[in-house]
Structure 1
Amino acid sequence: MNGTNGTRPQRPLKAGINVPLVAFFHPETEDIDIEATKKHAIRLAQAGLTALTVQGSNGEAVHLTREERSLVTSTVRQALDSAGFEHIPIVVGCAAQSVRESVLLCKDAYNAGGDYALVLPPSYYKAAYTDKVLLDYFLNLADESPIPIVIYNYPGAVAGIDLSSDHITTLAKHPKIVGCKLTCGNTGKLARIASAVNAATSTSENSGWMCMGGSADFTLQTLIAGGSGIITGLGNVVPKACVRVFDLYKAGKVAEAQKLQAIVARGDWAVISGGVAGLEAWYGYGGIARRPLPKPSQEDVAKYKDMLKEVVELENSL
């Protein structure tokens, strides 16, 4: 199902935990912080992730120029390869409002070392978008992109557009549409899709199609529903804890997984409610977003640090 782009071997996506990297900027200039990006990518890979994502929501794709997007992708690829993680695929956010620009971003992603494109539906002219328009957007993009497509269903980021299970299972028939990320949090939808596409799971590759949840606070629910894993922003802070929930479920230790899932869910609330401001407090880098996103106050950092304390303690014990 993962296929090949015809010019280089395709790193396969596997069931597990995928983390969308936060964007790192120098606080004085807002330039991309290359060294922090490398350091963070390697730290995440060492935690046992099955893939990394760049230019996701946490990666501030909407704040990056086309050149900066390619720079981040190539930096992460080089960092992974240099540290012995050549096998880890990179999923690259390539959403745009037109098929033409999305295809361009997919080509850039491929040239920079990306393996898959994570794509939101277009939303600016929402009133004009019928079901057919939305389906054709993804089908046309898959036809023209040099890398396979992962559908990103995140209504909060696209004026409320919420792809249904019927939409996604229809799109899954295209050989170059190989997965989805459901940040809608609808586990019923996830279960319907996973069953329809015979999704990869923690214990079986099945069709290889990746049906991914979009938040660590429902990792266990996703796996029980037949999903493939999670693409989670919380993993920027506690990647090993996120991986541990997956591994415990895979090993059949559901009761233990449930206990850790509760801790992870409480920690994820800090990220959901306030972003990853706690990252800087805990690890000494990151935490500064590009304007107009606000810089967290000392009170904010203290608040999120307190909210993350329990799950960070879990991370440090693993």
Structure 2
Amino acid sequence: MFLRKSLIWKCLGWRVFGRGVKESRCSSSGGRLDLTGIYPPIVTPFNQMAKVDYQQLESNIHRWSKIPFRGLVVQGSNGEFVYLTSEERVEVVRRVRQVLPEGRLVIAGSGCESTEATIAMTHNMAEAGASAVLVITPCYYRGRMNSAAFVHHYTQVADCSPVPVVLYSVPGNTALELPADAIITLSHHPNIIGLKDSGNDITRIALIVHKTRNQDFQVLAGSAGFLLATYSIGAVGGVCALANVLGEPLCDLEKLCLGGQWAEARELQYRLIEPNTAITRKFGIAALKEAMGWFGYYGGPCRAPLLPLTEAEKGELRSDFVSNGWL
């Protein structure tokens, strides 16, 4: 089933003709899937044998379901998707959809290096129950990944996708940014509904929001470190690694911003910056999984070649949480 050579994709508009594939869930009247809200890009829990631990995944989902998240992002960067097989990637999404309450969105990472593989993975994620797909920028041949290449890639994927597509720019991992002009062009596609931007350039994000407003295009902050700033310039939500452990405070920050309580929101944002930096830019996924254990979740080990934190790093990580009042 996965990326079979015999799989032939034939696209006409938004419809994909193939086994089990349905029409896009986008409304023909122009309505789009509402992405408003906070999403944790959830980790993939592994056991000590480096196998996916589905029992611990289910346990984490039950806890996250008690927090007013809009949904979960599954198989994003924090899910270590580059270290999973194609079968594992899809099975994790299927298990999440089975456990997560109805009404909560499942946004599944389906990006691969080639357009053909991305289309096939998108098809598989839709069959597994994804509400939408998050498509990271291809980056291996980054010297040739210009606006024209990206517009061609995402257009082909969106034309063939049975569910809405969310663009994903994460220069910290890919060493390239999805150009703003490409995003603006792609916002006109009826099956491309938004962007997760994990860069730190708030001016760029503001420009994208401004230039795509007439397309009903939805921008999501890709980090808790600048969540308040992106709400202030028109973003609709955030996909934040820190939400894996501090989900309720991030939902509180969303509520304060939407309610115009900017002074209170600013104080809360201050307390989130150092913990967020620690689990994203400073120490990465191993730190996020370590912190999950402090808050009653299962993080577990990362897959090789990612290494666990040293004792010194654990101490520094804990200090970033303690000094801001979270532990």
TM tier, smaller: 0.7 to 0.9
Contact 2:33-2:164 at 8 Å conserved across structures: no
Partner of 1:111: 127
Residue type at the aligned position of 1:21: I
**Residue 263 of structure 1, aligned match among 250, 268, 271:** 271
Partner of 1:274: 283
Question: Is 1:170 equivalent to 2:190 in the alignment?
Answer: no
Q: Aligned with 2:219: secondary structure?
A: strand
Query: Could you tell me how far apart the structure 2 residues matched to 1:51 and 1:24 are?
Result: 18
Query: Could you tell me how far apart the structure 1 residues matched to 2:193 and 2:231 are?
Result: 18
- Taking structure 1 as the reference length, what is the TM-score of the superposition? 0.88
Partner of 1:25: 46
Q: Deviations over 1:10-69 (max 9, x none)?
A: 793331211100110002x11111121112123223211112101111000001011111
Query: Could you tell me how far apart the structure 1 residues matched to 2:92 and 2:216 are?
Result: 27
**Residue 314 of structure 2, aligned match among 292, 301, 309:** 301
Partner of 1:146: 162
Partner of 1:63: 83
Question: Is 1:197 equivalent to 2:212 in the alignment?
Answer: yes
Query: Could you tell me how far apart the structure 1 residues matched to 2:321 and 2:136 are?
Result: 29
Query: Could you tell me how far apart the structure 2 residues matched to 1:49 and 1:287 are?
Result: 23
The total of aligned residue pairs comes to: 299
Partner of 2:304: 291
Deviation at 1:281, TM superposition (A): 3.5
Q: Aligned with 1:170: secondary structure?
A: helix
**Residue 216 of structure 1, aligned match among 224, 230, 253:** 224
Query: Could you tell me how far apart the structure 1 residues matched to 2:235 and 2:265 are?
Result: 16
Structure 2 residues without counterparts, runs of 5 or longer: 1-13, 16-20, 27-31
Contact 1:150-1:177 at 8 Å conserved across structures: yes
Residue type at the aligned position of 2:241: G
Residue type at the aligned position of 1:65: T
Contact 1:263-1:311 at 8 Å conserved across structures: yes
Q: Aligned with 2:107: secondary structure?
A: strand
Partner of 2:137: 121
Deviation at 1:286, TM superposition (A): 1.1
- CA gap of 1:77–1:166, structure 2 versus 1, over 3 A, is same
- Taking structure 2 as the reference length, what is the TM-score of the superposition? 0.85
Q: Deviations over 1:224-243 (max 9, x none)?
A: 11111111001011000111
Deviation at 1:193, TM superposition (A): 1.4
Q: Aligned with 1:117: secondary structure?
A: strand
Mean alpha-carbon deviation: is it higher for 133-142 or for 305-314? 305-314
Q: Deviations over 1:220-270 (max 9, x none)?
A: 100111111111001011000111111011112111111101001122122
Deviation at 1:71, TM superposition (A): 1.3
Q: Aligned with 1:20: secondary structure?
A: coil
Query: Could you tell me how far apart the structure 1 residues matched to 2:244 and 2:164 are?
Result: 25
Contact 1:164-1:189 at 8 Å conserved across structures: no
Partner of 2:247: 239
Deviation at 1:163, TM superposition (A): 1.9
Identity %: 28
Contact 2:24-2:164 at 8 Å conserved across structures: no
